[in-house]
Structure 1
Amino acid sequence: MSELKERLSAAMKDAMRAKDKARLGVFRMTLAAIKQIEVDERIEPDDARVLALLDKLVKQRKDSASQYRDAGRDDLADIEDAEVVVLQEFLPTQLTDAEIDALIDDTIASTGAAGMQDMGKVMGVLKPQLQGRADMGAASGRVKAKLTG
């Protein structure tokens, strides 16, 4: 079992003991998503796969919160934001803009990327380094700006 999955299971047990229904719901949802991967793909996900799943869940919650706010449902958006906070406890610390730019510059130099045709090559090298530590959409935009500008 991956270390991250074990930490999530332990946190779920702690939330049960503390009778913290909000946190418990987040952990149950996350562990159910991990179980879905195990059943569908017949694999035991490693930490990298669990991290990618957590990153995806955070992105979904942020998108939902944004849509709820646009619809004037701040009460539901606050719930989504609270879930994001709980999930982010299990993600590595976020990179700063300067660190992301430095990684992008290093990757462009090491891959010899010359233009937009090399975007896929650059993102393929960057993704494992940024997974869970930065917004991939924003990073993609930065890579595109550097390759075109």
Structure 2
Amino acid sequence: MVRVNKCGSEGFAKDITKGIFPNEFSDKDKRQYTTSSETLADGSLNHSIGVMLRSYTNSINNLQRRSGSLFRKKTKAICLNCSKGITPAYCDTEFGTQIYRDVPEKQYPQVCFNYIHQNPVKAGLVRNPEDWEFSSYADYAGLRDGKLVNKEVAKKYVSIRV
């Protein structure tokens, strides 16, 4: 994890959510929030994901004094606001149903934020999102003072109480 944090401080990717699960790897960085007036160079997102996966793998392997890959060879991205499954119009939370206004720049980041934090519960790993120690949920809920997330950046993109 040290390498990812180092990359973030150098501007590669400033994390706003974190989640590590047995069945997937979730990360949300602010570089992915683009509007129609912003574009990423071809392949830059794929390159960024590759760098991030290699950084995680190197860090974990160094800490555990092991070698080899940690992720499946064909790691795939999934679209969280596609019509199959998750809708970007609303999200059920412990505080009730949140209905999103028609602000496209806000919808996708919020959907990702909620998905990452609710995934351990939906996968049956824990009963409550704060019980999953490998997630930034506890940091946002004020139950832990984690250093891997940037709450100020998150406030710009998602509805949270900081």
* TM-score, normalized by the shorter chain, greater than 0.5: no
Task: Specify which structure has the bigger relative contact order, considering alpha-carbon pairs within 8 angstroms and separated by 6 or more residues.
Answer: 2
Which structure is higher in helix share? 1
- Structure whose alpha-carbon radius of gyration is higher: 1
TM-score (norm 2): 0.27
TM-score (norm 1): 0.29
